[in-house]
C-alpha cells in the first residue's frame, strides 16, 4: 500500500484473487488456513488490505487484528469511523470462530452488537481487536471481541453470533 498525506491525499493498494483462499477452505481446517495467512503463506483477503490491517495473530479460538488509525479511516467528525471499528471487531470475533472449524465447514456472521466506548484517532496509536469464542454448537457459535488502544484502554466491545454450515 502507498499513501501520501500531502494536500491531495491519495491512497493506492492491491490484493490477491480472493478465490485462492476460498479454494483452500475444503482442504484445511480454519486454524490451519488462518495460521498460514498470518505467516504469509496464503494471501490475505482483500479486506485486510483495504483496512490496512498490519497485525494478525491466530491461536485456536482467538484471533487478534491490529491497525494504526490513518486519516482515510476518519469520519466527518475527525475520528475513526464506527464502520472501521465494527469491521475490525467483526473480523476478530468471526475469525476466532473460524479458527475452531474443521475443513469443509464455513461460517457467516448472523449479527454484530457493538458498544463504542471512546473515540479513536491518530493519537490512539495501534488499535487491537482480540476475539474469542464463547460457545460453539453444531450450527451456531457465539464470540466476542474487545478493542484496545496503544495504552491498553478499552475503546469498543462487540458480541457476534455466527451460523455454521457445510461447504459444498
pLDDT digits 0-9 by tens, 80-90:
999 999 999 99
pLDDT of residue 156: 98
pLDDT of residue 154: 98
Residue 105 CA, distance from chain mean position: 19
Query: Please, which pLDDT band fits residue 74 given cuts at 50, 70 and 90?
Result: very high
Longest dimension (CA), the chain: 53
pLDDT of residue 21: 74
Q: What is the pLDDT of residues 96-123, one digit of tens each?
A: 999 999 999 999 999 999 999 999 999 9
Phi–psi pair at 61, nearest 5 degrees: 85, 0
pLDDT tops 80 at residue 3: no
Write b or e for each residue in 98-117: b if 16 or more Cβ atoms lie within 10 A of its Cβ, otherwise e: bbbbeeebbbeeeebebebe
DSSP structure class, residue 160: E
Q: Read off the C-alpha cell for 125.
A: 496509536
Q: What domains are there in the chain, each with its CATH number?
A: 18-166 (3.10.129.10)
44 burial via Cβ count (<10 Å: 0-12, 13-18, 19+): middle
DSSP sequence for 16-61: --THHHHHHTTTS-HHHHHHHHHTTSSPPPHHHHHHT--EEEEETT
pLDDT of residue 32: 96
Are residues 27 and 101 in contact, defined by beta-carbon separation less than 8 angstroms?
no
Residue with cell 491525499: 9
Are residues 64 and 57 in contact, defined by beta-carbon separation less than 8 angstroms?
yes
pLDDT tops 70 at residue 126: yes
Percent of the chain with pLDDT over 70: 96
How many whole angstroms separate alpha carbon 20 and alpha carbon 46?
Answer: 11
Percent of the chain with pLDDT over 90: 84
Query: Please, which pLDDT band fits residue 20 given cuts at 50, 70 and 90?
Result: confident
pLDDT of residue 103: 94
pLDDT tops 80 at residue 135: yes
Amino acid at each position: 500500500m502507498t499513501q501520501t498525506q500531502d494536500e491531495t491525499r491519495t491512497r493506492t493498494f492491491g490484493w490477491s484473487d480472493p478465490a485462492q483462499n476460498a479454494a483452500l477452505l475444503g482442504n484445511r481446517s480454519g486454524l490451519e488456513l488462518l495460521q498460514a495467512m498470518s505467516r504469509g503463506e496464503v494471501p490475505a483477503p482483500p479486506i485486510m488490505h483495504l483496512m490496512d490491517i498490519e497485525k494478525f495473530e491466530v491461536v485456536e479460538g482467538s484471533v487478534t487484528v491490529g491497525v494504526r488509525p490513518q486519516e482515510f479511516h476518519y469520519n466527518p467528525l475527525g475520528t475513526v469511523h464506527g464502520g472501521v471499528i465494527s469491521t475490525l471487531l467483526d473480523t476478530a470475533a468471526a475469525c476466532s470462530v473460524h479458527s475452531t472449524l474443521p475443513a469443509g465447514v464455513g461460517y457467516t456472521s448472523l449479527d454484530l452488537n457493538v458498544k463504542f466506548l471512546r473515540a479513536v484517532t491518530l493519537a490512539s496509536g495501534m488499535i487491537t481487536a482480540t476475539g474469542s469464542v464463547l460457545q460453539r454448537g453444531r450450527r451456531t457459535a457465539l464470540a466476542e471481541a474487545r478493542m484496545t488502544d496503544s495504552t491498553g484502554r478499552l475503546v469498543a466491545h462487540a458480541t457476534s453470533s455466527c451460523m455454521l454450515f457445510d461447504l459444498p
